[in-house]
Amino acid sequence: MDVLLESIILVILLFIVLLLAYCFHKIRRIDNNISEILFRVMKIQRTDLVDIFQQRQNLDILQHELSLTRPLPPTRGWAASPDFLLIIARHASEAKPDTVVECSSGTSTVVLASCLRENGKGHVYSLENDKAFAETTRSHLEREGLSEWATVLHAPLVRQDVGERQFSWYDHQNLPDSAIDMIIVDGPPHLVGNMARYPAGPKLFTRLADGGTVFADDADRSEEEATLAAWRQEFPTFQEGYHYCEKGCISFRKPDTP
């Protein structure tokens, strides 16, 4: 009887030891998984923080280089990011364009108008499909005393024929007829449809003055690949440049006539 009892106790003890070993193994695996998840989250957060810090620095540089009395309207998200704004601001300050046309208004309009005011010449024409957004951009310009340097044209998206194809693009009939020195393509929003920004090529690039330059935002976005490929094919003499920024920026420069 004693031997039987001892055996039962031994089996129970062995079972408990095995159970504890199993639990310990499971807990270690869960702990490892949690550590790995935490490591990944912290890595993403670190990358985000570096990006935010760089954008903050670009915003400070931009505010310093522009002679504005107030902080810029919101940047990033739907608006252009500080790094892209800095690229176009520096070009506008160096190239001193007479006529600037941009697709979609906002913070970029304020930045460009401020550069032209510093240059003492030039005018920005901003095509904006959204009436309320156009009004908001006008009020930003007004608050900075920049209204005489930029005109926001309410340009609803209408059917535009390019060869055999139809697109929904800005009604740009109110643009002046003059040659264009600088074009910024930051609209229409890609939600409008496939190759939403492509018509800027046939409708605007064809009007570029010699040495005129196009800056396209969001160039790293997969939705823009087909548009960029079509522009490269249709304007093979334009010199292309890639400018590192968070959404990607491609420039196309029309060469000077020899």
Ligand X SMILES: C[S@@+](CC[C@H](N)C(=O)[O-])C[C@H]1O[C@@H](n2cnc3c(N)ncnc32)[C@H](O)[C@@H]1O
Quote the tokens at residue 131.
Answer: 């009436």
Tell whether residue 82 is a contact of ligand X (CB under 6 A): no
- The b-or-e profile of 140-153 (16+ CB within 10 A means b, else e) is bbeebebeebbbbb
Based on its alpha-carbon atoms, the radius of gyration of the chain, rounded to whole angstroms, reads 29
Sign of CA dihedral 170, 173, 176, 177: positive
CB of 176 to ligand X, least distance (A): 20
Q: Closer CB to ligand X, residue 95 or residue 155?
A: 155
Q: Closer CB to ligand X, residue 156 or residue 255?
A: 156
The residue range among 74-82, 141-149, 208-216, 221-229 that interacts with ligand X, by the rule CB under 6 A, is 74-82
The one among 97, 106, 199, 202 contacting ligand X by CB under 6 A: 106
Q: Closer CB to ligand X, residue 82 or residue 212?
A: 82
Within residues 5-64, the interface with ligand X by CB under 6 A covers none
Q: Closer CB to ligand X, residue 104 or residue 151?
A: 104
The one among 66, 82, 87, 108 contacting ligand X by CB under 6 A: 108
What backbone phi and psi angles, to 5 degrees, belong to 95? -80, -20
Residue 58, CA atoms < 13 Å, CB-side half-sphere: 22
Tell whether residue 86 is a contact of ligand X (CB under 6 A): no
> Residue 223, class by beta-carbon neighbours within 10 Å (0-12 exposed, 13-18 middle, 19+ buried)?
middle
The one among 22, 39, 53, 78 contacting ligand X by CB under 6 A: 78
Tell whether residue 128 is a contact of ligand X (CB under 6 A): yes
| Size of residue set near ligand X by CB under 6 A | 15
> Residue 26, class by beta-carbon neighbours within 10 Å (0-12 exposed, 13-18 middle, 19+ buried)?
exposed
Contact 113, 149 (CB under 8 A): yes
Quote the tokens at residue 55.
Answer: 């954008």
Rounded CA-CA distance 254/237 in Å is: 7
Site string for ligand X, 201-230 (x = CB under 6 A): ------------------------------
Q: Closer CB to ligand X, residue 71 or residue 236?
A: 71
Interface with ligand X by CB under 6 A: which residues? 78-80, 104-108, 128-130, 133, 186-187, 189
